[in-house]
Amino acid sequence: SRFETCWPALMKDSHGVIIIFNPELPSHLKEIEMWYSCFVQQQPLLDSQCLLVAHHKPGSAGDTENLSLAYPLNKLKLIHSNLEEDPEDVRMEFMKYFRSIITLINESREREEMSIIS
């Protein structure tokens, strides 16, 4: 993609990656493997630092709720967002995700401080 040259700058010092995709587009399902590979595995970030969001457009076919992703994407936290039906649910999931990232950052900072002291 024409933005690939910007990726290293985007990735530098990132603590989390959220990948939003349209589960009805087969091309998106292939692309998220590439995004995961570039932005999570090569960083390297932990799987817990990545959140997948299957975004359902208004009036979309409902059957993609039972989305089964192949390995390694099936190890990631996956949430379905449908802002018409349940925006509150999505908000709660985002808050949980952000809290887990903040916890990770604090833990690694504490580890660094301890290693400097010792």
Q: Specify which residues 80 forms β-bridges with.
A: 54
- For residue 21, count CB atoms less than 10 angstroms from its CB and return exposed for 0-12, middle for 13-18, buried for 19 or more: middle
The answer to whether residue 41 is domain-embedded is yes
The answer to whether residue 5 is domain-embedded is no
Range of the domain at 35: 10-115
- What is the per-residue pLDDT across 20-33, written as a single tens digit (0 to 9) for each? 999 988 888 889 99
**Can you give the pTM of this predicted structure?**
0.83
Considering its fold, how many domains does the chain have in total? 1
pLDDT reported for residue 77:
95
- What is the per-residue pLDDT across 57-77, written as a single tens digit (0 to 9) for each? 877 765 556 788 889 999 999
Enumerate residues 6+ apart whose C-beta is below 8 A from 116.
Answer: none
The answer to whether residue 15 is domain-embedded is yes
